[in-house]
Structure 1
Amino acid sequence: MLDREKQNRENCIAACAAAIAACQACAAGDIRAGTSLCALINLDCIDICTATMNAMARGSEHHGDFCTVCAHICRACATACAAHAQVHEHCAVCMRACEHCASECMKHAKERHL
């Protein structure tokens, strides 16, 4: 059981790291493309994914709360990127990474380790 929990936690951390990388690339592309509103949600997503990844890695008793918020922000970012995904490849990549991160985070939402 603990091995499965550890693997699930590692999957979530990896999804957060992938979303961070995709959002960084997307924000840079958005700034060049003039889609600053999309770049702003990318920055929010980077911040919450970083915080969530850190909470998961240290085994924070509040990691479920971080995951809940992270899933919400990742979904918002994916939605924003979807509006430009047909035109900008960086938005399509970011959309997929954020959708995956939201899915992984929802597996841990509401968990508590006291």
Structure 2
Amino acid sequence: MTDKQYYNLVQTLHECMEACNHCYDACLKEKDMTMMAECIRLDRECADICAFLEQSLTRNSPFASDLATICAKVCGACGNECQKHNHDHCQNCAETCFKCVEACKEIA
């Protein structure tokens, strides 16, 4: 991985983690939380795997490529779920998740 790819991926992972955490928090404040349950769950999963991969990259983990594959899968699932909801926070999260999928695929 080049330095540029590394820094781009770390930044993208951090942005995705932040977007997922924001979406998670905003979903908890929605009136129909039952409808948002899967979005909330995937927001947490996605934020956690993005943070874990970011840490693994900074430690030069030999498992980073494998983790990037998993991260891309989780981010894709989160993006697909968020895309179903019309809330601005969900749409922003979906866009950020799909950007993260592409960044992860570059090193997977």
TM-score range, shorter chain: over 0.9
CA distance in 1, matches of 2:19, 2:91: 10
1:8 aligns with 2:5: yes
CA distance in 2, matches of 1:81, 1:61: 31
Residue 29 of structure 1 and its aligned partner are, at CA, apart by 1.2
1:30 aligns with 2:27: yes
Paired letter, 1:102: V
Q: Which runs of no fewer than 5 residues in structure 1 stay unpaired?
A: 110-114
Query: What's the counterpart of residue 112 of structure 1?
Result: none
Paired letter, 1:39: I
Paired letter, 2:101: A
Residue 58 of structure 1 and its aligned partner are, at CA, apart by 1.2
The count of corresponding residues between Structure 1 and Structure 2 is 104
Query: What's the counterpart of residue 40 of structure 1?
Result: 41
Question: In the TM superposition, what whole-angstrom CA distance separates every residue of 1:12-36 from its partner, at most 9, and x where no partner exists?
Answer: 1111000000001100111111112
Question: In the TM superposition, what whole-angstrom CA distance separates every residue of 1:8-63 from its partner, at most 9, and x where no partner exists?
Answer: 01101111000000001100111111112201100000110011001111111110
- The percent of aligned pairs where both chains have the same amino acid is 27
CA RMSD of aligned residues (A): 1.0
TM-score where L is the length of structure 2: 0.93
CA distance in 2, matches of 1:8, 1:21: 20
Query: What's the counterpart of residue 72 of structure 2?
Result: 71
Q: Which runs of 4+ in 1 moved over 6 A?
A: none
Query: Which deviates the most, 98-107 or 33-42?
Result: 33-42
Q: Which runs of no fewer than 5 residues in structure 2 stay unpaired?
A: none
TM-score where L is the length of structure 1: 0.88
